[in-house]
Structure 1
Amino acid sequence: MAPGLGWVMAALLVVGGLVFNVGNVSGAGLGTDAMLGLDPKIGGAISAVIAIGIFLSRRAGVAVDRIVVVLGALMILLTLYVAITSGPPVGTALKNVVLPEQVDVLAITTLVGGTVGGYIVYAGAHRLLDSGVSGVRHVRDITRGSVTGVIVTGIMRIVLFLAILGVVAGGAKLDPARQAANAFEIAAGEVGLRIFGIVLWAAAITSVIGASYTSVSFITSRTRTSDRTRTMLVVAFIAVSTIVFVAAGTAPATLLVFAGAFNGVLLPVGIGILLYVGWRRTDLLQGYHYPKWLLTIGTLAWLVTLYLAVRSIGPVIDLFK
């Protein structure tokens, strides 16, 4: 394998993580706007300070993890309610899944990048490593966790799409600066808007911490970097992300789109390295062999992400023109 490729991958992940974290802070700002009516930049800055406090407090971190699980379930129920009451044209949606009337490469790249791009694809693995779950003997547990995560995320995105589709199909015109929040407000009223803000804010806060921690872990060593140094780097990462967000004269919603699209462009690099290890370097996997059918599907998916990334480079640059 090419020498130094690991450092190249680490550098791309840190850059992608930083871009994603700017998007996460902007998401927190949008959450405070929907929840309290605060200016997104002020809300984002306050949220970043809270995220740093949560990260520095182990007890607070455990509490937030539990609260987010409850809020996640609440978000799914609220979104499902909106999807049902808004009456989306399900038949038209299903038809366009198979025979789309229009294909938007940037939109697809943004969705893929925002779901599994950047730090996200590695964050779960890092949490498992930190908890001591690693090695061939834990393959079943790791597989179950990853498959469950993908299924839940996929269902949530489908339901969210149908909810907003139903609102738009009903003739509503959404505010470009806060489309999702506006859709929930139209469908579920003031209560729906506030609940959406709370859930979005909580999800963004945990993402800020997760993106910062995972990105820093790629440029530090678990044995040679002290806990204090790693902690200070994570705090600095959050602070830099917040400064970039506050200083940027760009709408939070645009930053979220850019973060997903940018990480979607970087995604093929990381997937390519992992596939290489899966196909050729079983010595790095303690002798474990991935099923050939799984590697084949992974390779085909990698080719799709590569095609989308190449096609999306121009549109991603155009986002800030």
Structure 2
Amino acid sequence: MSHADSARPSSAPAEGHGRDASPTTRRTALLGAMFLMATSAIGPGFITQTSTFTIQLGAAFALAILVSIIIDIAVQMNVWRVIGVAGLRAQELANRVLPGLGWLLAGLVFIGGMVFNIGNIAGTGLGLNAMLGADALIGGAISALIAIAIFLSKSAGAALDRIVVLLGALMIGLMVYVAIVSQPPVGDALVQSVNVGNLDSAMFLALATLVGGTVGGYITYAGAHRMIDSGVKGVDDIASITRSSVASILVTGLMRVLLFLAILGVVASGADLGTTNQAANAFQAAAGEVGLRMFGVVFWAAALTSVIGASYTSVSFITTSTTSDRTRNLLTVAFIVVCAVLYLVLRQAPTTLLVFAGAFNALILPVGFAVLLIVAAFRRDLLGGYRYPKWLIIVGVLAWLLSVFIAVRALGPMIALFTGA
């Protein structure tokens, strides 16, 4: 029996997403995994980071977006394929490569997920503020209670798959509308996207934040872990795994470009977006009061989905495939409670938290990704005898080297950002 066969998650049979499930059910499982990854990335941090750096860097920010999308595709293609073919979670693979390494990785991802989740809860507060004018701290606390209620419900897993798909479609529709009405300077953005002369310390911080916010920390594994927990795994599913991994990044890439263009159009028009809740102010400047309220609804929903995604994936790193659903859900609830309390105690500006969270998770990315590349290159036994494509390993190694370089260059600016130095 292969490792993949012996490690079927206990939740797979209950959810009915294994090889014996209907094609429709399997498509729903893959779509849910794809959008869990995408909506985990397209959360409050995604919107806040993109807005912050577009305002700071203008059209030059297009270079960071292009480089980050290339890195993201290379990373996710490898992450989904290794985890999907092996049928094992990232920390389980790491422990088989080197005993104890998986728990180190789990600790890093768990802490990174907590940092990001504090930012996600802060994002729900921003969303309710834009939607209803509610105080951000109170809005964050209320949203955390809603997330807890979702995980205490019996149908949390099935509802998650459907909710993330719906919210992803809503966000794309909103971005298309605002990107059109803001009339951005598309030509200038295209030119700046290949202008390597723009690389400086601010650009490296932007790169680290984008990569960390899209495929760093827990987000790296959100879709892949959800996929194998749904029973979709093994060599027989390689084509579906590959398509879903690429599609998840294309969705996030499309959203990043649309949001960038929407904010850039507002910035280029000379509008003053202030210093707080800049993304909301940009949507209001582009689409009026209706735009502000719609932004609030989608931003809050995206933040809530990211709270769910961060909590689900972070807890998946401290549990095993034999952990009962009830225990996993209770641990997830506890995780949300701790993050909410830290958010209320820290009282850090939500924008600062969200930008810092992305950069912090970029520091974690090289560690876990290196483990998966080792499995791909040297541990064919963990992949059920599957011959891993050499070209994909090469692409992965290049992306890993670039992620290390970006993380090192961004470390100083990231510390200064959070400490105010």
TM-score, structure 1 as length reference:
0.95
Counterparts of 1:61 and 1:25, CA distance in 2: 20
The 1:63–1:194 alpha-carbon spacing in structure 2 relative to 1, beyond 3 Å, is farther
Give the aligned partner of residue 131 of structure 2.
Answer: 35
Matching of residues 166-315 of structure 1 within 5 Å:
166-223=265-322, 225-315=323-413
Alignment match of 2:416 (pick from 307, 318, 321): 318
Give the aligned partner of residue 130 of structure 1.
Answer: 229
The 1:101–1:184 alpha-carbon spacing in structure 2 relative to 1, beyond 3 Å, is farther
Counterparts of 1:208 and 1:111, CA distance in 2: 18
Counterparts of 2:127 and 2:324, CA distance in 1: 34
The 1:220–1:67 alpha-carbon spacing in structure 2 relative to 1, beyond 3 Å, is closer
Q: Does 1:74 align with 2:162?
A: no
The 1:166–1:100 alpha-carbon spacing in structure 2 relative to 1, beyond 3 Å, is farther
Q: How far 1:303 sits from its partner (Å)?
A: 0.5
The 1:200–1:24 alpha-carbon spacing in structure 2 relative to 1, beyond 3 Å, is same
The 1:65–1:284 alpha-carbon spacing in structure 2 relative to 1, beyond 3 Å, is closer
Matching of residues 107-186 of structure 1 within 5 Å:
107-186=206-285
Give the aligned partner of residue 12 of structure 2.
Answer: none
Amino acid across the alignment from 2:119:
G
Is residue 222–residue 309 contact of structure 2 (8 Å, CA) maintained in 1?
yes
Is residue 118–residue 353 contact of structure 2 (8 Å, CA) maintained in 1?
yes
Is residue 125–residue 140 contact of structure 2 (8 Å, CA) maintained in 1?
yes
Give the aligned partner of residue 48 of structure 1.
Answer: 144
Amino acid across the alignment from 1:256:
L
- Where 1:220 maps in the other structure, the secondary structure is coil
| RMSD of equivalent CA atoms | 1.5
Amino acid across the alignment from 1:172:
A
Counterparts of 2:318 and 2:156, CA distance in 1: 26
Counterparts of 2:299 and 2:160, CA distance in 1: 14
Q: How far 1:63 sits from its partner (Å)?
A: 4.4
Q: How far 1:46 sits from its partner (Å)?
A: 0.3
Is residue 31–residue 200 contact of structure 1 (8 Å, CA) maintained in 2?
yes
- Residues 131-176 of structure 1, C-alpha deviations (whole Å, 9 max, x = no match): 1111111111111111111111101100110110000000012122
Counterparts of 1:74 and 1:232, CA distance in 2: 30
Q: Does 1:17 align with 2:130?
A: no
Q: How far 1:292 sits from its partner (Å)?
A: 0.9
Is residue 35–residue 195 contact of structure 1 (8 Å, CA) maintained in 2?
yes
Q: Does 1:91 align with 2:190?
A: no
Is there any run of 5+ residues in structure 2 with no aligned partner, and where? 1-96
Deviates more, 1:154-163 or 1:205-214: 205-214
- Over the matched positions of the two proteins, sequence identity in percent amounts to 64
Give the aligned partner of residue 5 of structure 1.
Answer: 101
After TM superposition, the runs of 4+ consecutive aligned structure 1 residues lying more than 6 A away are: none
Is residue 266–residue 285 contact of structure 2 (8 Å, CA) maintained in 1?
yes
Q: How far 1:108 sits from its partner (Å)?
A: 0.9
Amino acid across the alignment from 2:290:
V
Amino acid across the alignment from 1:95:
V
Q: How far 1:68 sits from its partner (Å)?
A: 4.2
- Where 2:418 maps in the other structure, the secondary structure is coil
Amino acid across the alignment from 1:183:
A
Counterparts of 1:205 and 1:21, CA distance in 2: 10
TM-score, structure 2 as length reference:
0.73
Counterparts of 2:363 and 2:145, CA distance in 1: 30
Counterparts of 1:73 and 1:186, CA distance in 2: 23
Amino acid across the alignment from 2:136:
P
Give the aligned partner of residue 93 of structure 2.
Answer: none
Is there any run of 5+ residues in structure 1 with no aligned partner, and where? none
The 1:265–1:46 alpha-carbon spacing in structure 2 relative to 1, beyond 3 Å, is same
Q: How far 1:259 sits from its partner (Å)?
A: 0.8
Amino acid across the alignment from 1:163:
A
Counterparts of 1:78 and 1:232, CA distance in 2: 35
Counterparts of 1:8 and 1:41, CA distance in 2: 33
Q: How far 1:10 sits from its partner (Å)?
A: 0.9
Is residue 25–residue 204 contact of structure 1 (8 Å, CA) maintained in 2?
yes
Is residue 365–residue 403 contact of structure 2 (8 Å, CA) maintained in 1?
yes
Counterparts of 1:193 and 1:15, CA distance in 2: 33
Amino acid across the alignment from 1:252:
P
